[in-house]
Amino acid sequence: MRKRKLYLDACILVSYYNTKDKEHKKVVDFLEKSLKLDNTILLCSNFTIAEFAWVCIKKDYLTEIETYQIANALFQTSKVGRKYPFKFVNPEANGYSFEDFFLDIQGVILGTKPRPHLADAIHIVIMKRDKIIRIVTNNPKDFSVAKIRAIKPEEI
């Protein structure tokens, strides 16, 4: 049976690790529910973790040391909170070059209205490259792109 792919937006990680975030409980509930969904796989990219780190440090949600430790744990364990498993997507596979990647980002930015933020354009390219059509996000309006379905954690 084919598994439903759910790509995690960086805001999901931010909400999980920032316990003061207004979406924290909804994200924890979603991750708990994901453990019971046999037909679903959570996906994450290196960029998602990089964006998570940038947001946490930029907005002072976590210290630099805390952020580094969390990012390192995410890379080493492929688990959110060392409990909720995810798989990394690999958009570089099959001869896909860095140049191709940036051309695709340019295409998304120039070919999409309303124009997405650069970070969202990168997520969209990664998702399209890996044939992922669903992103779990607290900000669904950021992904108003054809063939991408933005889902809030509480909608799962």
**Tell me: the pLDDT tens digits for 64-100?**
999 999 999 999 999 999 999 999 997 666 678 889 9
**Out of 8-17, 35-44, 103-112, 139-148, which region has the weakest mean confidence (pLDDT)?**
139-148
Asked whether residue 106 is domain-assigned, the answer is no
CATH label of the domain that carries residue 28: 3.40.50
Asked whether residue 126 is domain-assigned, the answer is no
Q: Which domain holds residue 30?
A: 4-90+133-151
Query: In the prediction, which pLDDT does 99 show?
Result: 92
Q: In whole numbers, what is the pLDDT of the chain averaged over residues?
A: 93
**Tell me: the pLDDT tens digits for 5-14?**
999 999 999 9
Q: Three-state SS string across the chain, please?
A: CCCEEEEECHHHHHHHHCCCCCCHHHHHHHHHHHCCCCCEEEEECHHHHHHHHHHHHHCCCCCHHHHHHHHHHHHHHCEECCCEECEECCCCCCCCCHHHHHHHHHHHHHHCCCCCCHHHHHHHHHHHHCCCCEEECCCHHHHCCCCCEEECHHHC
pTM of the predicted model, to two decimals? 0.94
